[in-house]
């Protein structure tokens, strides 16, 4: 079964304390990996797309990287406004159609 | 603002009732997706439409149905509601049918009493 596993489930950082979130997958026929941010009670917001191992994307304090088996979301010098749940999503091909497989997310809390 | 509009934002109803959730996709997007998110749970894919046709189906209950209209807006119908159907229902849209770059609405929060 296609699975996307994110770790840790929750992460608490002090403002300015850099860290990384992990996304590993067992999806067969990977067609892309995506990162989203979700604030409580809101819809997820698209952040990055990664297609091939070695690829990196950056946006403000966030940098996403991809290897053959996992992806990392690096957060450099986070601020309280970076507090959110970060979702890893992958496209899997199954019986002729594509589907998105969502991870359960990492809840990030950045304290001032 | 993602450009995806969902109504109503909040809905409270009783068990056994039927409700309809509405979604207007971003201008130019042909694909619409419906997701369910229960309290502290992940996003569960329900169904996807592309240009009016059903493209993919996920864990959608038989009591639930959806459609996409010629003007590309979509409706999700939930019937014979149960307490466990209480959740946030998100609509998302995308330009194509085979992308992971989705634009989500703010959601419709359904409470079944």
Average pLDDT over chain B reads 94
Report the distance separating Cα B34 and Cα B68, nearest Å.
11
User: Which residues make Cβ contacts (< 8 Å) with residue B22, sequence separation at least 6?
Assistant: B6, B7, B8, B73, B74, B75
Q: Chain B residue with minimal CA distance to A42?
A: B106
- pLDDT number for residue B33: 95
User: Looking at the predicted structure, is the pLDDT value of residue B109 above 70?
Assistant: yes
Residue B105 sits at the chain A interface (C-beta within 8 Å)? yes
Report the distance separating Cα A69 and Cα B109, nearest Å.
36
Question: If you average pLDDT over residues B2-10, what whole number do you get?
Answer: 95
Question: If you average pLDDT over residues B41-54, what whole number do you get?
Answer: 91
- pLDDT number for residue B99: 82
**φ and ψ of A82, to 5 deg:** -80, -5
Structural tokens at position B108:
């419709």
Is the Cβ pair B4, A43 closer than 8 Å?
yes
Structural tokens at position A94:
């199954």
- With a cut of 70, list the residues of chain A below it in pLDDT: 1-2, 27-30, 93-97
DSSP secondary structure string for all residues of A2-65: --EEEE-SEEEEETT--EEEEEEE--SS---EEEEEE-TTS--EEEEEE-STT-EEEETTEEEE
Residues B47 and B33: beta-carbon distance below 8 Å: yes
Is the Cβ pair B100, A49 closer than 8 Å?
yes
User: Looking at the predicted structure, is the pLDDT value of residue B31 above 80?
Assistant: yes
Q: Tell me which residue has tokens 């409580």.
A: A40
Contacts of B92 in chain A (CB under 8 A): 43
- pLDDT number for residue A97: 67
- CA–CA min distance B70, chain A (Å): 23
Determine how β-strand B87-94 pairs with β-strand B31-37: antiparallel
Q: Is B84 helix (H, G, I), strand (E, B) or coil?
A: helix
- pLDDT number for residue A96: 61
Q: Which of A32-46, A83-97, B45-59, B89-103 comes out lowest in average pLDDT? A: A83-97
- pLDDT number for residue A28: 66
- pLDDT number for residue A101: 83
Is the Cβ pair B100, A100 closer than 8 Å?
yes
A43 vs B55, B90, B97: nearest CB? B90
- pLDDT number for residue B1: 85
- CA–CA min distance B58, chain A (Å): 9
In 3-state terms, chain B is what percent helix, strand and coil (to 5)?
A: 5, 50, 45
- pLDDT number for residue A57: 96
User: Looking at the predicted structure, is the pLDDT value of residue B98 above 90?
Assistant: no
**% of residues, chain B, pLDDT over 70:** 100
Contacts of A43 in chain B (CB under 8 A): 2, 4, 90, 92, 104-107
Question: If you average pLDDT over residues B35-57, what whole number do you get?
Answer: 90
Is the Cβ pair B103, A46 closer than 8 Å?
yes
Side-chain-side CA neighbours of residue A91 (13 Å): 19
Chain B interface, best mutation among A44, A71, A96, A107, by max B CB count within 10 A: A44
Residues B75 and B90: beta-carbon distance below 8 Å: no
Q: Is A91 helix (H, G, I), strand (E, B) or coil?
A: strand
Question: If you average pLDDT over residues B11-19, what whole number do you get?
Answer: 97
CB neighbourhood size of B69 (10 A): 11
Least Cα distance to B87 among B15, B10, B22, B16 occurs for: B10
- pLDDT number for residue A98: 72
């Amino acid at each position: 079964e296609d699975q996307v596993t994110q770790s840790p489930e929750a992460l608490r950082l002090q403002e300015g304390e850099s860290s990384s979130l992990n996304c590993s997958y067992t999806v067969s026929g990977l067609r892309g990996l995506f990162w989203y941010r979700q604030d409580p009670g809101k819809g997820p917001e698209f952040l990055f797309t990664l297609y091939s191992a070695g690829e990196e994307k950056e946006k403000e304090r966030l940098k996403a990287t991809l290897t053959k088996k996992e992806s990392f979301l690096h957060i450099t010098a986070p601020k309280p406004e970076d507090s959110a749940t970060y979702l890893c999503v992958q496209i899997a091909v199954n019986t002729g159609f594509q589907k998105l497989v969502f991870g359960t997310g990492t809840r990030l809390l950045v304290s001032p | 603002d993602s450009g995806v509009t969902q109504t109503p934002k909040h809905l409270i109803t009783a068990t056994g009732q039927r409700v309809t959730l509405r979604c207007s996709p971003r201008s130019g997007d042909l694909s619409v997706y419906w997701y369910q998110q229960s309290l502290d749970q992940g996003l569960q894919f329900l169904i996807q439409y592309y240009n009016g046709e059903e493209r993919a189906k996920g864990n959608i209950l038989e009591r639930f149905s959806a459609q996409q209209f010629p003007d590309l807006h979509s409706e999700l119908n939930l019937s014979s509601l149960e307490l466990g159907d209480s959740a946030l229902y998100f609509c998302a849209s995308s330009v194509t049918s085979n992308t992971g770059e989705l634009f989500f609405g703010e959601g419709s929060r359904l409470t079944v009493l």
